[in-house]
Amino acid sequence: MPAGPAATLKVSSHMQAKAVFFDLDGTLLDSLEDLADTTNTALEAHGFPARPVGEYRYFVGDGIRNMLRRAAPPGTDESAIDRLVARARQEYGLHWARKTALYDGIGPMLARLRRKNVPLAVLSNKPHDFCLAMTAHFFPDAPFAVVAGSPPDGRAKPEPEMALRLARTMNLDPAEVLFMGDTRTDMDTAVNAGMVPVGVLWGFRPESELRAHGAQALLRNPSDLFGIPQVCGAW
In this structure, of 58-72, 103-117, 118-132, 152-166, the range with the lowest mean pLDDT score is: 152-166
CA nearest to 92, candidates 45, 34, 49, 40: 34
Return all residues near 28 (Cβ < 8 A) that are at least 6 apart.
22, 102, 103, 106, 122, 138, 139
Whether residue 233 is predicted with pLDDT greater than 70 in this model: the reply is no
CA nearest to 87, candidates 58, 108, 110, 64: 64
Once rounded to an integer, what is the mean pLDDT over residues 213-223? Answer: 96
Quick one: pLDDT at residue 8? Answer: 44
Q: Are 163 and 169 in contact, with CB atoms under 8 Å apart? A: no
Once rounded to an integer, what is the mean pLDDT over residues 84-95? Answer: 97
Three-state SS for 62?
Answer: coil
Q: How far apart are CA 34 and CA 92, in angstroms?
A: 7
Once rounded to an integer, what is the mean pLDDT over residues 79-85? Answer: 97
Once rounded to an integer, what is the mean pLDDT over residues 97-112? Answer: 97
Three-state SS for 176?
Answer: helix
Whether residue 78 is predicted with pLDDT greater than 80 in this model: the reply is yes
What is the 8-class DSSP label of residue 72? S
Whether residue 111 is predicted with pLDDT greater than 60 in this model: the reply is yes
Q: What average pLDDT is seen over the chain? A: 92
Q: Are 135 and 122 in contact, with CB atoms under 8 Å apart? A: yes
Quick one: pLDDT at residue 14? Answer: 59
Quick one: pLDDT at residue 235? Answer: 75
Amino acid identity for residue 76 in this structure:
T
Q: How far apart are CA 39 and CA 64, in angstroms?
A: 10
**pLDDT digits 0-9 by tens, 137-159:** 999 999 999 999 998 766 689 99
In the chain, the percentage of residues whose pLDDT exceeds 90 is 85
Whether residue 41 is predicted with pLDDT greater than 50 in this model: the reply is yes
Count the Cβ atoms, other than its own, within 10 Å of residue 159: 15
Quick one: pLDDT at residue 152? Answer: 72
CA nearest to 193, candidates 223, 221, 165, 155: 165
Quick one: pLDDT at residue 4? Answer: 47
pLDDT tier for residue 5 given thresholds of 50, 70 and 90: very low
Once rounded to an integer, what is the mean pLDDT over residues 12-33? Answer: 88
Q: Are 3 and 220 in contact, with CB atoms under 8 Å apart? A: yes
Once rounded to an integer, what is the mean pLDDT over residues 90-111? Answer: 97
Residue bearing the bigger pLDDT, 137 or 11: 137
Quick one: pLDDT at residue 151? Answer: 80
Residue bearing the bigger pLDDT, 67 or 229: 67
Residue bearing the bigger pLDDT, 155 or 131: 131
Count the Cβ atoms, other than its own, within 10 Å of residue 57: 18
Number of residues in the chain: 235
Q: Are 163 and 174 in contact, with CB atoms under 8 Å apart? A: yes
Q: How far apart are CA 157 and CA 62, in angstroms?
A: 7
Once rounded to an integer, what is the mean pLDDT over residues 66-83? Answer: 96
